Amino acid sequence: MARQEPDDDARREAVLRAFVRADGSLRSIPARRSKRIVLLDQISQVFDVGVRYPERDVNALLRAFHPDVAALRRYLVDEEFLTRADSIYWRSGGTVVLLDELGDEPRGGAD
């Protein structure tokens, strides 16, 4: 994913504030695709890159965000954040946070 510009960061934060509760669960799933993409990107980060998940594990992870896990699963697959084959899912998109050499801080973070 391309580096986000400051305006993109502010827009992303505004969407997250509007749709995500303090506990991380969603108030609702946005109808507007551009806002939904922001949330799906955030949600996709609970899935580790390179790990394959059976559908029951995907549902368990998604349930923390919203009770309609089928809708979230479908959106994640349709928007290519997850890929599915034979009821097995893996992360195929979304933002990936790279850690510094020590593995404890995102690159580009405060020194």
52 or 97, higher pLDDT: 52
Instruction: Report, as an integer, the average pLDDT of 17-43.
Output: 96
Give residue limits of the domains in the chain: 6-91
Which residues are paired to 91 by β-bridges? Answer: 82
Q: What is the band of 110 on the pLDDT scale with cuts at 50, 70, 90?
A: very low
Single-letter code of the amino acid located at 77:
V
For the entire predicted model, the pTM comes to 0.81
Q: How confident is the model at residue 96 (pLDDT cuts 50, 70, 90)?
A: confident
pLDDT at 51: 97
Three-state SS for the chain is: CCCCCHHHHHHHHHHHHHHECCCCCECCCCCCHHHHHHHHHHHHCCCCCCCEEEHHHHHHHHHCCCCCHHHHHHHHHHCCCEEEECCEEEECCCCCCCECCCCCCECCCCC
pLDDT at 91 over 90: yes
Residue 79 and residue 30 in contact, taking contact as beta carbons nearer than 8 Å = no
